[in-house]
Amino acid sequence: MKILVTGGCGFIGSNFIRILLTETDNQVVNLDALTYAGNLENLRDLEGHPGYSFVRGRIEDMALVSSVMKEVDSVVHFAAESHVDRSIQQASPFITTNVMGTQVLLDAFRNAGCQGTFVHVSTDEVYGSLGPNDPAFKEDFPLKPNSPYSASKASSDLLCRAAFKTFNLPVVITRCSNNYGPYQFPEKLIPLMVINSLEGRSLPVYGDGMNVRDWIYVEDHCRGCLAALEKGRPGAIYNFGGQCEKTNIQVIKSILEILDLPEDRIEFVKDRPGHDRRYAMNSELAVKELGWKPRMTFETGLEKTVKWYLANRPWWERILSGQYMEYYEKQYGNKG
Ligand code: NAD
Ligand code: DAU
């Protein structure tokens, strides 16, 4: 199969492409706009792979997406504006990419008559926030997004549902909890805390640090997306969670323990507006229908991740300095 992966230069998309090209016979076309979050260096080891090609462009560009769609069988759609704090600063890019871009992909998939599956990669944040004793999110829970980011993702989920109901498009929606692992952009909690610790900077904890996230190692999420592509029931939604609820302060203390550093740089700062208190996922449907379950424990996964950031200092230093943006021009010439 030839698969269009959108957002393949980001954190999860690049990990997904690595699994596709090293563990399956599928071919990949990676369509990515290379926003601040997209980094060609994430896929440096796969450049020149015979099954891989890269197209720089935006998913809301109908002409471009239509021409790419003619070549592929299936789509795994990761491209998004993904950071909640940025959506609070400015929501419009989230609407353009996450809402408009998803509709363009759905229309182009239908117009091209693609014969495979359209996997839409979504998030647990569409369900809103849980109280301390609430049961974990199930796929039929109501959508109650609280940030512009999660509202834009919920909107895209509904457009995918409509494409399935109205046009019978074989769309499968996946919703995953908080990912961590190699190549995560250092604006997200875990890489930010690792890098700030290594650089001797303070560790900003929003509010009381007692917000809970259900952490999952990125490769476990990617294997769920692959299972959804191969075995997902059209029209179905599958939750993926790590079975690993931790408060933010627990996560930060675990990082400091791995790095053998004291806790004195932890600094409690103003809370994120609309900050969801707790996420937890019930993934029983994915276990039952896809035969999926997470393999990595948090202890092993976190240690592996911290060691990756220690071993790949040039990767994140080039992000902090902005040099990573120059890599495209070196590889592909002028951005035009
Ligand atoms: P990311 O921000 O690291 O990467 C996003 C990628 O999309 C980048 O390469 C960027 O260049 C590209 N992109 C952005 N706008 C684009 C556009 N208009 N056209 C083409 N490409 C564009 O994101 P991530 O953390 O890898 O998340 C990937 C997907 O998974 C997102 O849809 C996100 O909502 C979802 N998700 C993320 C998590 C998580 O914990 N990170 C959890 C659940 C679901
Ligand atoms: O749950 C899945 C979602 O996880 C994805 O859909 C999003 O794309 C992804 O960004 C992530 O969203 P969060 O908002 O949960 O992730 P973030 O890493 O931004 O924050 C994790 C928690 O840590 C959250 O409770 C806020 C807190 N935090 C975050 C930062 C960046 C801090 O306390 N300090 C910080 O500096």
Distance 261 CA to ligand 1 centre (A): 31
> Which of 206, 253, 276 has the most ligand 2 atoms within 8 A of CB, as the residue to mutate?
206
Distance 331 CA to ligand 2 centre (A): 32
Whether 43 is in the pocket of ligand 1, judged by its Cβ within 6 Å, is no
- The active-site residue, picked from 81, 124, 220, 245, is 124
Rounded (10°) CA dihedral 195, 296, 20, 93 = -50
Whether 33 is in the pocket of ligand 1, judged by its Cβ within 6 Å, is yes
Number of domains in the chain: 1
> Which of 82, 100, 276, 325 has the most ligand 1 atoms within 8 A of CB, as the residue to mutate?
82
Distance 133 CA to ligand 1 centre (A): 31
Catalytic status, residue 149:
yes
pLDDT of residue 317: 97
- The active-site residue, picked from 149, 180, 324, 328, is 149
Closest CA to 100 of 49, 157, 138, 156: 156
pLDDT of residue 332: 72
Give the number of the atom of ligand 1 that is nearest the alpha carbon of residue 9.
9
Q: DSSP per residue over 121-139, as a string?
A: EEEGGGG----TTSPPB-T
Give the tens place of pLDDT for each residue, 189-214.
Answer: 999 999 999 999 999 999 999 999 99
Give the tens place of pLDDT for each residue, 21-79.
Answer: 999 999 999 999 999 999 999 999 999 999 999 999 999 999 999 999 999 999 999 99
Taking the whole predicted model, whether its pTM rises above 0.85 is answered as: yes
CATH code of the domain in which 255 resides: 3.40.50.720
Distance 246 CA to ligand 2 centre (A): 12
Whether 181 is in the pocket of ligand 1, judged by its Cβ within 6 Å, is no
Whether 146 is in the pocket of ligand 2, judged by its Cβ within 6 Å, is no
- The active-site residue, picked from 60, 107, 125, 276, is 125
Whether 246 is in the pocket of ligand 1, judged by its Cβ within 6 Å, is no
Catalytic status, residue 140:
no
pLDDT of residue 202: 97
Q: Are 201 and 264 in contact (CB under 8 A)?
A: no
pLDDT of residue 236: 98
Domain that holds residue 46: 2-332
Instruction: Find the angle CA(23)-CA(238)-CA(58) to the nearest 5 degrees.
Output: 70
For the chain, 336 residues long, give each residue's pLDDT as a single digit of tens: 999 999 999 999 999 999 999 999 999 999 999 999 999 999 999 999 999 999 999 999 999 999 999 999 999 999 999 999 999 999 999 999 999 999 999 999 999 999 999 999 999 999 999 999 999 999 999 999 999 999 999 999 999 999 999 999 999 999 999 999 999 999 999 999 999 999 999 999 999 999 999 999 999 999 999 999 999 999 999 999 999 999 999 999 999 999 999 999 999 999 999 999 999 999 999 999 999 999 999 999 999 999 999 999 999 999 999 999 887 777 776 543
Give the number of the atom of ligand 1 that is nearest the alpha carbon of residue 83.
2
Environment class of 231 (CB within 10 Å of its CB; exposed 0-12, middle 13-18, buried 19+): middle
Ligand with an atom nearest the CA of residue 281: 2
Ligand with an atom nearest the CA of residue 58: 1
pLDDT of residue 334: 55
Catalytic status, residue 71:
no
Q: What contacts 296, CB < 8 A, 6 or more positions away?
A: 216, 217, 219, 220, 242, 304
> Which of 5, 12, 17, 34 has the most ligand 1 atoms within 8 A of CB, as the residue to mutate?
12
pLDDT of residue 330: 75
| Whole-angstrom distance, CA of residue 278 vs CA of residue 134 | 9
Q: Are 266 and 252 in contact (CB under 8 A)?
A: yes
Distance 79 CA to ligand 1 centre (A): 4
